[in-house]
């Protein structure tokens, strides 16, 4: 028979995808657990590894889960157990732990299962397993069909809302944000009273606290099942110190600090140049990261929000299994399924108690018949050939049920006393009351819901907490605009022209530093720095060479440096001619009126500053014609300036700028000094 391979692959993929989504990646809407988590918790429960007993080796539990209920990889099972124990992941951890199970400092990875121990938390015992032995949920066979386990727990613990969930299945993902138990209970009561709820006053509550900054967007998550939460760590500015006391959900201290250091060292972000040092002062009493700023701490903090995990966005996608299929759930949907499940569990519990009471009542009524006819009963039993024969004879003689007859046959002689008859009658009266009460409750939805609320209130009383996460509204767009304005207004740099550290180089180097980074050179450093100018991030500055050529560069083209680091070799930035060397740099912030150039042969040229700054061409525009000479120095000066020239004679001569008229860019220079066989070596600006 021919098989269509495409059809076969499609069908196989759909079966496999359903298996992954339903049996691994998605939680059940009723108890909020994935099958692997449920298998681990049930294994611990039925083996007695509870909160009143000593902790047990995690490897022992992992092995039991795999061998008895959930035949998957030990690493994935152990990882699931570890995650259920972490208080920074869960608002109410399902498992108590001994040993290393990760930390907020270093990360979520736990020690090997052979080194750690765990047991059920009291919250799991109360929230998942109360009355589970009373047939409150269905049981299914395990993989080898030699054991059974629950399809779902009778969960008064609203785990899916309280602890959240994350998982990626095939073609679909699910993410539930952790929430506050007390706030959830108020919505449950609202639903029971009105069969509807409002979502204006309920928000995620993360175990690691933080600040939700898009308060107005949260309502849509609970109304539609989808949306985004923007969460920031808690930070405050104290002088030039940024103090971070919490990080967003599932962000860890040491990796966070490492990220900042990498960004600073890589010089990728201008705003991070304002960081002087980072101190991790976190300990058992709480988290504290201090960032010492050399620049504007507000600007540094905004940059951290933008480029690091100090601000995170979580995409809620509230998918969960409903009747074995993934569905998108709104908050009211989830509450509906949660309430229905719990009420049904209570109903099954009551039915179990009613069945037990009815069975016991049946037996007691049969015993009363036996006591009333005790002599005849004894004769019938004595004349019977066997116990089954005696049972049948009693049933036929006194119209008893099989259970009643069996109880009489098994009855001890001590129960024949008259006092025993009084006890039996009292028990019957009590059971009659119990049966009537259970029957009334089973037939009354309000009474079932009342019992559910009572149990939910008890659980909440024991395990609720005060909200940890702040919720505010921050206008992100306006914040970004304000940050850009601040950045544009304050983003200033110092660019220095320095002697090249390579002695054989004819070039020099440029260094761009944040204002907070720059220090006025002292001692031997003075000789290394030729000129320092202040520019804005997008400002252009000009460079003039000994060949009388002018170049332009934009400040953003230079990478950031520090006082101790090397700068950029100018020859790598500009296409310089052979033996060409940059002798000075100028910014548009300098206010002097004229450029004044002096050559080795004593020729000078005075130019209007705007004529030089107005040149649009960048790549080496000539501003002075030269013969067999080079430019010694160039200054930006006013007419009152006096320049001292030192010649090779040696001789010192003063040149007054006011003695010369400005000339155009294409004009030659004029004789400034009459020199014969000697030349100008050095010049100095006197005033």
How far is 529 from 101, CA to CA, in rounded Å? 54
579 and 606 co-located in one domain: no
**Among 545, 566, 585, residue at a domain's last position:** 585
Q: How confident is the model at residue 43 (pLDDT cuts 50, 70, 90)?
A: very high
How far is 441 from 346, CA to CA, in rounded Å? 10
147 and 39 co-located in one domain: yes
Q: Is the pLDDT confidence value at 153 over 80?
A: yes
The answer to whether residue 645 is domain-embedded is yes
How far is 630 from 548, CA to CA, in rounded Å? 7
DSSP string, 439-506: HHHHT-HHHHHHHHHHHHHHHHHHH-----SEE-B--HHHHHHHHHHHHHHH-EEEEEEEE-SSTT-S
Residue 488: per-residue pLDDT: 53
The listed range with the strongest mean pLDDT (92-106, 384-398, 472-486) is 92-106
Residue 503: per-residue pLDDT: 46
Are 568 and 560 spatial neighbours (Cβ–Cβ below 8 Å)?
A: no
Residue 538: per-residue pLDDT: 75
Residue 540: per-residue pLDDT: 85
* Lookup result for tokens 């003063």: 654
How far is 30 from 321, CA to CA, in rounded Å? 8
The answer to whether residue 685 is domain-embedded is yes
581 and 602 co-located in one domain: no
Q: Is the pLDDT confidence value at 63 over 80?
A: yes
pTM: 0.71
341 and 433 co-located in one domain: yes
Between residues 385 and 456, which one has the greater pLDDT? 456
Residue 255: per-residue pLDDT: 93
HEC-encoded secondary structure of 147-179: CEEECCCCCCCCHHHHCCEEEECCCCEEEECCE
Q: How far from 337 is each of 22, 329, 342, 343, 426, CA to CA, in Å?
A: 17, 10, 9, 10, 41
Q: Is the pLDDT confidence value at 271 over 70?
A: no
Q: Which two tokens stand for residue 195?
A: 């069969």
44 and 127 co-located in one domain: yes
| For residues 284-289, average pLDDT | 90
DSSP string, 241-275: EEEEEE--TT--HHHHHHHHHHHHHHT--GGGGGE
Question: Whole domain around residue 368: which residue ranges?
Answer: 334-373+408-443
* Lookup result for tokens 């009471």: 357
* pLDDT 10s digits, 104-116: 998 999 999 999 9
β-pair type (211-212, 117-120): unpaired
Are 679 and 601 spatial neighbours (Cβ–Cβ below 8 Å)?
A: yes
* pLDDT 10s digits, 458-508: 999 999 999 999 999 987 776 666 555 555 545 678 999 988 765 445 578
Nearest to 86 by CA among 77, 76, 96: 96
Mean of the per-residue pLDDT values for the chain? 88
Q: How far from 540 is each of 508, 535, 631, CA to CA, in Å?
A: 19, 8, 23
| For residues 54-79, average pLDDT | 94
- Ramachandran bin of 32, using left for φ above 0, alpha for ψ from -120 to 50, beta for the remaining angles: left
| For residues 159-175, average pLDDT | 88
How far is 663 from 145, CA to CA, in rounded Å? 102
Q: How many CB atoms lie within 10 A of CB 424?
A: 17
48 and 142 co-located in one domain: yes
Name which of 404-418, 442-456, 558-572 the model is least confident about. 404-418
* pLDDT 10s digits, 8-35: 665 555 555 656 565 667 999 999 999 9
91 and 70 co-located in one domain: yes
| For residues 664-679, average pLDDT | 80
Are 498 and 524 spatial neighbours (Cβ–Cβ below 8 Å)?
A: no
Q: Which two tokens stand for residue 687?
A: 């005033």
| For residues 439-443, average pLDDT | 95
Q: How far from 521 is each of 531, 532, 542, 619, CA to CA, in Å?
A: 11, 10, 22, 31
353 and 427 co-located in one domain: yes
271 contacts: CB under 8 Å, gap ≥ 6: 295, 299, 300, 302, 303, 306, 307, 487
Burial of 494 (0-12, 13-18, 19+ CB in 10 A): buried
What phi and psi, each to the nearest 5 degrees, are found at residue 493?
Answer: -130, 160
Specify the CATH number for the domain of residue 137.
Answer: 3.90.199.10
Give the sign of the dihedral formed by CA 188, CA 192, CA 197, CA 200.
negative
The answer to whether residue 640 is domain-embedded is yes
% of the chain exceeding 90 in pLDDT: 55
* pLDDT 10s digits, 357-367: 999 999 999 88
Give the sign of the dihedral formed by CA 4, CA 9, CA 15, CA 21.
negative
Query: Among the options 42, 78, 115, 338, which is catalytic?
Result: 115
How far is 439 from 275, CA to CA, in rounded Å? 71
| Length of the chain as a residue count | 687
Respond yes or no: is residue 170 known to be catalytic: no
% of the chain exceeding 70 in pLDDT: 89
What phi and psi, each to the nearest 5 degrees, are found at residue 647?
Answer: -100, 175
How far is 137 from 166, CA to CA, in rounded Å? 25
Name which of 108-112, 323-327, 522-526, 545-549 the model is least confident about. 522-526
Q: Is the pLDDT confidence value at 284 over 60?
A: yes
Specify the CATH number for the domain of residue 303.
Answer: 3.30.1360.40
37 and 150 co-located in one domain: yes
Q: How confident is the model at residue 266 (pLDDT cuts 50, 70, 90)?
A: low
The listed range with the strongest mean pLDDT (315-329, 565-579, 673-687) is 315-329
* pLDDT 10s digits, 539-576: 889 999 999 999 988 888 888 887 878 888 888 888 88
**Among 585, 618, 641, residue at a domain's last position:** 585
The answer to whether residue 180 is domain-embedded is no
How many structural domains are present in the chain? 5
Cis peptide before 239 (omega within 30 of 0): no
Q: How far from 142 is each of 49, 65, 147, 253, CA to CA, in Å?
A: 20, 11, 5, 41
Q: How confident is the model at residue 117 (pLDDT cuts 50, 70, 90)?
A: very high
The answer to whether residue 192 is domain-embedded is no
HEC-encoded secondary structure of 376-442: HHHHHHHHCCCHHHHHHHHHHHHCCCHHHHHHHHHCCHHHHCHHHHHHHHHHHHHHHHHHHHHHHHH
Residue 438: per-residue pLDDT: 95
Q: Is the pLDDT confidence value at 349 over 80?
A: yes
Residue 597: per-residue pLDDT: 92
Specify the CATH number for the domain of residue 413.
Answer: 1.10.268.10
Q: How far from 514 is each of 237, 401, 477, 529, 543, CA to CA, in Å?
A: 20, 96, 26, 16, 20
Residue 480: per-residue pLDDT: 65
The answer to whether residue 512 is domain-embedded is yes
How far is 627 from 648, CA to CA, in rounded Å? 19
The answer to whether residue 468 is domain-embedded is no
Q: Is the pLDDT confidence value at 536 over 60?
A: yes
562 and 625 co-located in one domain: no
* pLDDT 10s digits, 287-297: 999 999 877 88
Nearest to 308 by CA among 269, 342, 347: 269
Name which of 107-116, 194-203, 219-228, 391-400 the model is least confident about. 391-400
How far is 128 from 159, CA to CA, in rounded Å? 10
Q: Is the pLDDT confidence value at 668 over 90?
A: no
Nearest to 343 by CA among 190, 440, 462, 446: 446
Between residues 514 and 116, which one has the greater pLDDT? 116
The answer to whether residue 577 is domain-embedded is yes
Between residues 683 and 123, which one has the greater pLDDT? 123
43 and 148 co-located in one domain: yes
* Lookup result for tokens 């059920």: 120
657 and 569 co-located in one domain: no
Cα angle value 448/450/453 (rounded, 5°): 110
**Among 567, 585, 603, residue at a domain's last position:** 585
Q: Which two tokens stand for residue 221?
A: 């998550």
Q: How far from 641 is each of 545, 596, 638, CA to CA, in Å?
A: 22, 10, 6
Name which of 288-297, 406-415, 428-437, 618-627 the model is least confident about. 406-415
Name which of 86-95, 207-216, 399-408, 521-530 the model is least confident about. 521-530
């Amino acid at each position: 028979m021919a098989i269509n391979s495409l059809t076969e692959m499609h069908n196989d993929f759909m079966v496999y995808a359903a298996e992954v989504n339903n049996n691994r990646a998605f939680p059940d809407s009723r108890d909020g657990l994935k099958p692997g988590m449920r298998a681990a918790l049930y294994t611990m429960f039925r083996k007695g590894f509870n909160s009143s007993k000593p902790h047990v080796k995690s490897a022992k539990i992992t092995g039991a889960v795999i061998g008895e209920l959930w035949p998957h990889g030990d690493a994935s099972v152990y990882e699931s157990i570890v995650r259920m124990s972490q208080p920074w992941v869960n608002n109410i951890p399902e498992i108590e732990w001994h040993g290393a199970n990760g930390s907020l400092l270093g990360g979520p990875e736990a020690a090997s299962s052979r080194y750690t121990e765990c047991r059920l938390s009291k919250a799991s015992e109360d929230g998942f397993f109360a009355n589970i032995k009373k047939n409150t949920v269905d049981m299914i066979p395990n993989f080898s069909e030699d054991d059974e386990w629950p399809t779902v727990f009778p969960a008064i613990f609203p785990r899916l809302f309280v602890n959240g969930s994350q998982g990626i299945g095939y073609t679909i993902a699910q993410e539930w944000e952790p929430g506050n138990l007390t706030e959830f209970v108020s919505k449950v009561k609202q639903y029971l009273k009105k069969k509807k709820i409002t979502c204006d006053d309920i928000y995620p509550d993360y175990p690691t606290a933080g600040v939700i900054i898009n308060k107005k967007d949260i309502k849509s998550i609970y109304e539609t099942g989808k949306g985004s939460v923007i969460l920031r760590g808690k930070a405050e500015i104290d002088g030039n110190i940024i103090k971070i006391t919490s990080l967003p959900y599932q962000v860890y201290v040491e990796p966070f600090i490492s990220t900042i250091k990498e960004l600073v060292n890589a010089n990728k972000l201008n705003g991070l140049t304002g960081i002087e040092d980072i101190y991790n002062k976190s300990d058992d009493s709480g988290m504290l990261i201090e960032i010492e700023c050399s620049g504007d701490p507000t600007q540094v903090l905004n940059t951290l929000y933008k480029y690091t995990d100090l601000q995170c966005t979580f995409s809620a996608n509230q998918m969960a299994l409903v009747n074995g299929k993934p569905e998108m759930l709104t908050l009211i949907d989830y509450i509906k399924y949660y309430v229905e499940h719990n009420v049904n569990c209570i109903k099954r519990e009551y039915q179990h108690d009613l069945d037990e009471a009815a069975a016991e009542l049946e037996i007691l009524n049969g015993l009363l018949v036996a006591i009333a006819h005790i002599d005849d009963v004894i004769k019938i039993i004595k004349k019977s050939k066997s116990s089954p024969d005696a049972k049948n004879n009693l049933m036929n003689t006194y119209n008893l049920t099989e259970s009643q007859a069996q109880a009489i046959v098994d009855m001890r002689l001590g129960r024949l006393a008259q006092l025993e008859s009084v006890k039996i009658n009292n028990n019957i009266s009590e059971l009659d009351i119990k049966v009537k009460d259970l029957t009334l409750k089973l037939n009354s939805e309000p009474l079932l819901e009342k019992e559910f609320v009572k149990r939910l209130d008890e659980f909440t009383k024991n395990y609720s907490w005060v909200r940890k996460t702040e919720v505010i509204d921050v206008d992100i767009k306006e914040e970004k605009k304000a940050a850009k304005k601040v950045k544009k207004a304050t983003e200033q740099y110092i660019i220095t022209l320095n002697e090249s550290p390579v002695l054989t180089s004819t070039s020099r180097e440029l260094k761009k530093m944040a204002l907070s980074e720059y220090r006025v050179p002292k001692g031997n450093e003075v000789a290394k720095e030729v000129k320092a100018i202040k520019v804005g991030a997008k400002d252009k500055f000009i460079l003039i060479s000994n060949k009388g050529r002018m170049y332009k560069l934009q400040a953003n083209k230079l990478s950031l440096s520090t006082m101790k680091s090397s700068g950029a070799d100018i020859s790598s930035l500009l296409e310089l001619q052979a033996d060409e060397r940059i002798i000075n740099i100028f910014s548009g912030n300098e206010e002097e009126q004229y450029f004044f150039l002096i050559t080795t042969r004593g020729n000078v040229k005075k130019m209007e500053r705007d004529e030089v700054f107005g040149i649009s061409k960048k790549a080496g525009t000539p501003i002075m014609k030269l013969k067999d000479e080079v430019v010694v120095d160039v200054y930006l000066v006013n007419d009152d300036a006096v320049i001292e020239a030192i010649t090779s004679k040696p001789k010192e001569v003063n040149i007054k700028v006011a003695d010369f008229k400005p000339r155009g860019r294409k004009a030659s220079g004029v004789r400034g000094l009459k020199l014969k066989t000697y030349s100008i070596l050095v010049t100095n600006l006197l005033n």
